[in-house]
Amino acid sequence: MRLGVLDVGSNTVHLLVVDAHPGARPLPAHSHKAELRLAELLEADGAIGEAGVRRLITIIGDVLRTAEDKGCEEVLPFATSAVRDASNADLVLARVKDETGIDLRVLPGPEEARLTFLAARRWFGWSAGRLLLLDIGGGSLEVAYGMNEEPDAAVSLPLGAGRLTAGWLPGDPPDPADVKALRRHVRAEIARTVGEFVRFGAPDHVVATSKTFKQLARIAGAPGSGEGPYAARGLSRKSLEEWVPRLTTMTTEERSRLPGVSEGRAAQLLAGALVAEGAMDLFGVAELEICPWALREGVILRRLDHLPAD
2: helix, strand or coil: strand
Tens of pLDDT, residue by residue over 247-291, are 999 999 999 999 999 888 999 999 999 999 999 999 999 999 999
Q: Are residues 40 and 126 in the same domain?
A: no
Total domains in the chain come to: 2
**The pLDDT value given to residue 42:** 78
Q: What is the CATH number of the domain that holds 129?
A: 3.30.420.150
d(CA 25, CA 30): 15
pLDDT-based confidence at residue 137 (cuts at 50, 70, 90): very high
What pLDDT, in 10s, does the model give residues 194-243?
999 999 999 999 999 999 999 999 999 999 988 988 899 999 999 999 99
Same domain, 13 and 63: yes
The CA-based angle 184-244-36, given to 5 degrees, is 85
Phi, psi of 151 (to 5 degrees): -65, 155
Q: Is residue 173 part of a domain?
A: yes
Torsion angles phi and psi, residue 45, rounded to 5:
-90, 10
Same domain? 16 vs 153: no
Query: Are 118 and 101 in the same domain?
Result: no
Based on the domain organization, do 38 and 132 belong to the same domain?
no
**Which domain, by its residues, includes 65?**
2-106
Closest CA to 106 of 88, 141, 81: 81
Say if residue 175 is in the same domain as residue 253. Answer: yes
Under the phi-then-psi rule, with left for phi > 0, alpha for psi from -120 to 50, and beta for the rest, what region is 187?
A: alpha
Same domain, residue pair 35 and 157: no
103 pLDDT more than 80: yes
Task: Assess contact for 160 and 10: CB atoms under 8 A.
Answer: yes
Same domain, 77 and 195: no
Q: For all residues of the chain together, what is the average pLDDT?
A: 94
Q: What distance in Å separates the CA atoms of residue 45 and residue 48, rounded to the nearest whole number?
A: 9
* Of 106, 133, 162, the domain-final residue: 106
Query: What pLDDT sits at residue 100?
Result: 96
Strand spans (E) along 70-152 = 74-79, 105-106, 131-136, 141-146
Last residue in a domain, options 47, 75, 106:
106
Q: What is the mean pLDDT of residues 29-33?
A: 94
Q: Is residue 300 part of a domain?
A: no
